[in-house]
A and B are shown apart, each in its own frame.
Chain A
Amino acid sequence: MSLGDAGDGLRVRPYAITGGRTRAATEVPIEAIVYRTPTGEKAVNSLSLERRQILNLLATPQSAAEISARLRLPLGVARVVLGDLVDEGFVALNTRSASGRPDLRLLERVLDGLQAL
């Protein structure tokens, strides 16, 4: 059973999990890589089912998009839940700053990486 799934294949209302909120205090970009903090690792078993599923998935750090897809949780919902988890210190994000285009150094690293494929 995944988060967006009521167990018998019925879809649950997507934003019920977030109490109707469509925004969290912390914005989580779609590509932001989410990882567990030590606090999060200790807290896993005390969390609610959906949050536990996310923390368990994060045994491997991965993007908000992957978390959304793997738990079949609409992206907007995943981002709110993840934003909450960031605020509570259970997970942290690796993400580039704001909206700027990648700088030269980063582009060169991407170029090198692609050439090595």
Chain B
Amino acid sequence: MASKPSDMVVTTDEATGGAGPMPVKIVVAGGFAVGKTTFIGSISEIEPLTTEAALTKVSEGVDDTSKVSTKTSTTVAMDFGRITLGDDLILYLFGTPGQDRFWFMWDELVRGAIGAVVLIDTRRLEECFPAVDYFEENQIPFVVGMNCFDGQATHSPDDVREALAVSPDTPVLLIDARERISTRDTLLELVQHALVRATA
């Protein structure tokens, strides 16, 4: 392992970097079984991992520690993957927990994120509405990826853009979540979109 500075300064300057790689993240959202983990796994250099977040919200502000530890029995699982982009940069892809009741976790996931990929299945388009609402409301750059399960699109990106009523500059892409190149191109579109938004 490379030697690290012995001071305890938390590295926060992304321009200068610091000891070791800087993390960046992209959020992958969408309805149940729409291909989030497949998408992440198609490009991740590690098998997608699962982290469990215990629901701690109910215990916030409660000082009685016995209460705290008894109120954390519900957990929500999130899958994620990792892509090393050079010596000093690691991109993490975090899948959102599916259910709306875990919104508090979304706030944490999008904090400081580059943006989000919203995966959709046109047969149950409505499942992505909460995610689109959330990213629009919080001004998170996002692209929409239509996962073509059978290799064929049943609707055009323009139809989907209209149905979702997203802004004309929001990229809507035909993707195959199983294909590494497709996933890479989707992420590229998102980063380009975020760049445009950042310079606007």
Contact = CB atoms under 8 A, between A and B. Distances in A.
A110 B92 contact: no
Interface stretch (B106-114, B121-129, B153-161): B106-114
Interface in B55-102: 56, 59-60, 65-66, 68-70, 72, 75, 78, 80, 82-83, 85-86, 89-92, 94
B21 interface: yes
Number of chain B interface residues as a range = 35 or more
A113 interface: yes
Interface in A19-64: 19-22, 26, 29-33, 35-39, 59-61, 63
A107 B195 contact: yes
Question: Chain B interface secondary structure, helix, strand, loop or mixed?
Answer: mixed
Contact of B23 (A70, A95, A99): A95
Nearest to B3: A38
Contact of B56 (A37, A61, A76, A102): A76
A26 B118 CA distance: 32
Contact of A37 (B4, B15, B59): B4
